Amino acid sequence: MSDFSQLIYRKTPVLVDFHASWSESCKKVNPVLERVKSELGDRLKILKVDVDRNPSTVKTYDIWRVPTLVLIWRGQRLWKHHGIITTGPLLEQMKRFFSKNILKG
């Protein structure tokens, strides 16, 4: 998954959605991610990683449950969440990183 490696080391933070096509919980997170993306625009990249198709990436990031969201910036894991999350809390968490200037420049 070389594209994955390239994306996580860029200046734009990446919210990685580790998901599975068979998971009903993952399907519930999709509209949440769409709303967060529409709110944050180009300040955040959302990358979907199918756990069944990317076992080595799953192992590297210690993913043991889906959905799992991982915020990565310049290769560093800043935040991880297992399970369903709603738009408000997810957006609030992402904005916290932006407001602390952690995700700038």
Write the pLDDT tens digit of every residue in 34-66: 999 999 999 999 999 999 999 999 999 999 999
Global pTM value: 0.91
Separation of first and last alpha carbons in the chain: 25
Using the Cα atoms of residue 32, residue 89, residue 86 and residue 16 in order, give the sign of their dihedral.
positive
Instruction: Give the residue-averaged pLDDT of 73-99.
Output: 93
Domain 2-99 belongs to what architecture?
A: 3-Layer(aba) Sandwich (3.40)
Burial 13-24 (b: 16+ CB within 10 A, else e): bbbbbbbeeeee
Contact between residue 66 and residue 51 where contact means Cβ atoms under 8 Å apart:
yes
The one-character DSSP state at 10 is S
